[in-house]
Every structure is written in structure tokens, then in C-alpha cells.
Amino acid sequence: MKKDSTKKNENNQGGVVQKGQKFPLTIKRLGINGEGVGYFKRRVVFVKGALPGEEAVVEVIKAGDRFSEAKVKKLRKKSSDRVEAPCPIYEECGGCQLQHMNYSASLRGKKDIVSQAFSRYTKLPEDKLPLKDTIGMENPWYYRNKSQLQTRKKGEKVAAGLYKEGTHELIDLSACLVQHKQLNHVTQVVKDVLSELNIPIYDEKKHHGEVRTIVTRIGFETKQVQLVLVTLTDKLTKKDELLAKIKTRLPEVTSLMQNVNSEKTSLIFGEKTVHLDGEQTINERLGEFSFDLSARAFFQLNPNQTVHLYNELKGCTINRQGKNC
């Protein structure tokens, strides 16, 4: 035991921490993934779920020479910006990072992240940076225009959702607070139809089955909805019955597509896309511009804020010194 203890102390010289080590930590700022950032013996420690200004006892879960990761064991001092996350599965789902922080504070945190980047990678003094406040949304919920949810069979029902962070454990989503409400509805109906028809659902471990992902996208301005079923092969059991039920129950779906992805991969889409019903694209408008979106087209996920961003740029002029107006 003495030998192990001595070795541990030697390894800990110079501030290197060990996995399982516990110590008090003050959180100084947010990291780029929404984690709290503190410093222990001059080394960076990232703490998931911790907020700037908080004091906590943390436990190291991943030790490194340059930085370490830790979890909160006890929160000694809470930030006034800490709130109760409105999503009931926030702690399980890996989709959101800052629901436990009030929105105005998260905007300040994002501004600080930009400031830190300039400080780290340029020689510009922090107090001279021409940074303005982050422009937030009037309603920071239900703003995403696209969802991509993996499917699994759970008993007699079909689940569709995101993976729990760091795992392949699927967390079923029925009413995501950041997805457009219509997409939540479409996904839920599709899950029900797949269950009713007993259509084979993809088994990741066996690399077997049919439907592996439900992809939905909506045009905020046009209200057109595109549904894409990503399947393992071209085969889609009871295709005609499936299409009939979707057309009856989801008249808002104006574009119905099938994408084939036969690879063992975390990528959503394969190379082959098949038109099943309706139009091949949906239309969306951003300000004065109109876009036709195919199943695999890239598009900004937050169209309302995208228009806001473009309008800010249009209204801004650049003077000879290169400073923003």
C-alpha cells in the first residue's frame, strides 16, 4: 500500500490529476460545449453541468496532461443563473447542453467564448475587441426546422430519438422542446404507423432490419413538411399500406422520400434516395430568397435567427479601419 501511495503522490507532482480524485473547484467560465471550466493546479478542468461562478466538489472522470474532465459530486455554491431544465429528459438526452442556465446568461456565455477565442489565437487585447452582445431569440424554443431520430424497437412499440451522451442507449423523444412542434407530431405519427404495420426496425447490433432513421424537415414560411425514411436496403415492407396511412394521417407531408444506407456507420444518409410520394423537394423562404430543399440538402437549422443574422449584415457598413458599424 505504501508503494502505491508513494507512486500516486509522485505522479501527482506538478498538478497532474488522477482519475477518481476529488477536489474543490470554482467555475470560471463556459467551454465551447457548454461545460463549466475551472482550474486546478494551473490545469484546465471541464465539468459538465457546472456554471460560471459556482463552487463545487468535483471528481475526475478523465485525467490528462493538458486538461481533465470531471463531474460534480457536491454543489457548494449555486449560480443565480441556474434554472430548472424544462425538458423532463434533459439529464438523459444528449441533444441539449444549457437548459439548466437561464437564456440571457447563455447569451453572455457565448459572447465570452468568442472573446476567449480571440484572446487565444490573436494578439488583440481583450479590452479592445469590438464585440457586441449576442443577439438572442424572442422565443428560444421549437426553433429547429429538421430532426434526425434513430429508431429502435422497444417491446411492441417503435422508439425514435437520440443517444444518451457517450452511449448507444436510445432515448425516445416524443415532444422535443427545440424541434418545431409539427415535426414532433409527424415523427410520433410515423412511429405509431410503423408499430401498427409491424414494419421491421433496424437492429444496430445485428445490422439487420429495415427502418433505421426518421428524418423530418419543415419550411417555416411555407409549412411544407418533408419526411425521409432511412432504410438499410431498398426493401420497405408493406410500402403501399405505409404510404396510404401517412397520406391519410399526415396531409401536411408534401414530400415523402426513402434513403438507403446499408453501411455500418453513424452517418445518417446513404448515397441512394428514392422518391416515394408527393414532391421531391419542399420550399422555404428566408427574407426575399426562396429555396427548394431536397432530402439531403444542407440548410440552416434556425431559419428565424438566420433571417435576423442576414438583416444585421445588410444593415451594417464597414469603415476604412475595418471596424463594424
SS3 27: strand
- Cell 474532465 belongs to 69
Would you write out the chain's pLDDT as a tens digit for each of its 325 residues? Answer: 434 433 443 344 445 789 999 999 999 999 999 999 999 999 999 999 999 999 999 999 999 989 999 999 999 999 999 999 999 999 999 889 999 999 999 999 999 999 988 888 888 887 788 889 999 999 999 999 999 999 999 999 999 999 998 888 999 998 999 999 999 999 999 999 999 999 999 999 999 999 999 999 999 999 999 999 999 999 999 999 999 999 999 999 999 999 999 999 999 999 999 999 999 999 999 999 999 999 999 999 999 999 999 988 888 755 444 455 5
Helices (H), the chain: 2-11, 103-121, 181-196, 239-249, 303-314
Strand partners, 256: 227, 277
Rounded CA separation 71/59 (Å): 5
The distance in angstroms from the start CA to the end CA of the chain is 66
Strand partners, 226: 217, 255
Give 3-state DSSP helix, strand, coil % of the chain, rounded to 5: 25, 35, 45
CA angle, 55 as apex, 50 and 60 as ends, to 5°? 60
Q: Which amino acid is at 254?
A: T
3-class DSSP string for 271-303: CEEEEEEECCCEEEEECCEEEEECCCCCCCCCH
pLDDT tens per residue across span 115-166: 988 888 888 887 788 889 999 999 999 999 999 999 999 999 999 999 998 8
Nearest to 212 by CA among 129, 287, 146, 153: 153
Sign of the CA dihedral 172, 176, 178, 180? positive
Q: Are strands 170-172 and 282-286 parallel, antiparallel or unpaired?
A: unpaired
Q: Which amino acid is at 156?
A: E
Domains (ranges, CATH) in the chain? 19-77 (2.40.50.140), 146-308 (2.40.50.1070)
Rounded CA separation 153/161 (Å): 12
Buried/exposed code over 170-201 (b: 16+ C-beta within 10 A; e: otherwise)? bbbbeebbbbbebbbbbbebbbebbbeeebbb
Q: What is each CA distance from 91 to 95, 171, 184, 190, in whole angstroms?
A: 10, 11, 20, 26
SS3 182: helix
SS3 197: coil
Question: What's the grid cell of residue 147?
Answer: 430532426
Note the pTM of the prediction, 2 decimals: 0.88
Q: What is the DSSP string of 210-232?
A: SEEEEEEEE-TTT--EEEEEEES
Contacts made by residues 243-246, CB under 8 angstroms, sequence distance 24+ = 243/276, 243/277, 245/193, 245/196, 245/197, 246/189, 246/190, 246/193, 246/277
